[in-house]
Structure 1
Amino acid sequence: MSGTSTPGPTPDALELAALMCSRVCHDLINPVGAIVNGLEVFDSSNKEDDKEFALDLIRKSAKSTSARLQFCRIAYGAAGSAGSQIDLGEAQKMTRNHLEDEKTKIVWNLPHVLMAKNRVKLLLNMLVIAQQAIPRGGQLIVDPVGEGDTMGFRIRAAGTNAREPQNVAAQLNLDNAGSVSAHAVQPYYTALLAQACELKVSLAAEPDAVVVTAA
């Protein structure tokens, strides 16, 4: 019996949709759970300090949930009719609201133009991958590759102990579709978007940085 595993079948449309839904639920469960916890503290305590703490937790978690939903709607959802375009300025705003915090800063060097929906979705999914490369925070530097309707993207994730996210390079290879799970579906979806845009996504390690490129 061979010790080499054979990849399973490529996920069909229904399975891919289910995996993406699982991914979105995973992204939302923490901030939504924090809102529930805040409400429980608020309802169960008569102390003003506890109630103020609970309200602050609810405010922050609600803001985080809203930012994630807006980002996910564009990155993973339909976000308009087929063939529609999305303003890169709006994409920048959603990216900052979702990914930027006291540890992670974004340097956005893309032009403020309308771009095909799938290209913007590709960009946002590349940013999700790039953020995973800097677990201690750092900079996400977003640059164009080329220009116009065929523009690609280069994202340099720079920070202490930057490293390629585990197994992502393999998951970006569409030949490995049989190993796709809810955990691995986002890089696979990124590769599908790149294919639809006639681009290919690659990872490259640099000293204290990882570069994600679609070209």
Structure 2
Amino acid sequence: MTTVNLDSLDLSALLCSRVCHDVISPVGAIVNGLEVLEDDNDASMREFALDLIRKSARQASARLQFARIAFGAAGSAGAAIDLADAEKVSRGMFADEKTQLAWSAPQALFPKNKVKLLLNLVMIATSAIPRGGLIDVTVSGDGEAPTLLLKAKGSHARIPPHVEELLAGRPESGTVDAHGILPYYAGLVARAAAMGVRLSIEGDEVTIRAEPVSASAEPAVPAPSTTPEDARPTDSEPSDTQLA
């Protein structure tokens, strides 16, 4: 199977599509709520509209803050991101959702790409339990050689279709679209961070494990023919996350 290497324009366009997809729903709900406030004088309807606006604004903000670290150049002044910030944006993503999040990680600065990988794996774990459930995140070891362990447990749990091929940069179709950009991008980040990613399933629980790959070992996420730098987004932060 041939490795797919997106050029920088296609990669940035697909990531932008991903972010837009994640925020368009709450932003649209805010617009609807404002229209109700403008056109309806009924007190109960106005209160409903205000509640919708408040909830949707929080959701849009949470998704943008998550995307800023997971896909963007947040903290670009340094080479590390606080795991506490990763936990904060992850909890914000699930504040009003059917999925619960458990988080166990040291209070420490970790290399940027390892934190970005962790957040992208959180989103992959979310897609593994389409009916909701629990995502248990455990980070052990230090920043140079961490183990990222995510367990997604819920009804109808499954390894999302094609995610392993996309992580490896080798989609069966030979192309990557907006639905597959997240695992594809996670694979790029994993290779840039010298981390291997493996998925397994037992019963109603999917396990995602990411560990350092030694120079002599065969990576779980095979390296593409180009260097990670060729495929990474530029280090400029966008002004501006789960596909159905």
- TM-score, with length taken from structure 2: 0.81
In structure 2, the partner of 1:125 is 120
CA 1:89/1:118 → structure 2, altered by over 3 Å: closer, same or farther? same
Give the counterpart letter for 1:47 in structure 2: D
State the SS of the aligned residue for 2:16. Answer: helix
Give the counterpart letter for 2:103 in structure 1: W
In structure 2, the partner of 1:210 is 206
In structure 2, the partner of 1:196 is 192
Alpha-carbon contact 2:4-2:170 (below 8 Å) kept: no
State the SS of the aligned residue for 1:200. Answer: strand
CA 1:9/1:86 → structure 2, altered by over 3 Å: closer, same or farther? closer
Cα separation, 2, equivalents of 1:24 and 1:214: 24
Gaps of 5+ in 1: 1-5
- More contact order relative to length (CA 8 Å, sep ≥ 6): 2
Q: CA deviation at 1:7?
A: 5.8
Q: CA deviation at 1:159?
A: 1.1
In structure 2, the partner of 1:3 is none
- Cα RMSD for the two superposed structures: 1.8
Work out whether 1:174 is the aligned partner of 2:169.
yes
Work out whether 1:67 is the aligned partner of 2:62.
yes
Gaps of 5+ in 2: 212-244
More helix by share: 1
CA 1:31/1:39 → structure 2, altered by over 3 Å: closer, same or farther? same
Cα separation, 2, equivalents of 1:12 and 1:63: 34
In structure 1, the partner of 2:28 is 33
Q: CA deviation at 1:147?
A: 3.3
Q: CA deviation at 1:79?
A: 0.8
Cα separation, 1, equivalents of 2:183 and 2:108: 26
- TM-score, with length taken from structure 1: 0.91
State the SS of the aligned residue for 1:89. Answer: helix
Question: When the two structures are aligned, how many residues end up with a matched partner?
Answer: 210
Cα separation, 2, equivalents of 1:139 and 1:124: 16
State the SS of the aligned residue for 1:108. Answer: strand
Identical amino acids, percent of aligned pairs: 51
Deviations 1:147-178 (A, max 9, x none): 34221301000112211122212211213394
Work out whether 1:10 is the aligned partner of 2:22.
no
Q: Which of 87, 90, 98 is the aligned partner of 2:85?
A: 90
Cα separation, 2, equivalents of 1:70 and 1:207: 33
Cα separation, 1, equivalents of 2:187 and 2:87: 21
Q: CA deviation at 1:8?
A: 8.6
Alpha-carbon contact 2:101-2:137 (below 8 Å) kept: yes
Alpha-carbon contact 1:39-1:54 (below 8 Å) kept: yes
Alpha-carbon contact 1:104-1:139 (below 8 Å) kept: yes
State the SS of the aligned residue for 2:171. Answer: helix
Q: CA deviation at 1:185?
A: 0.6
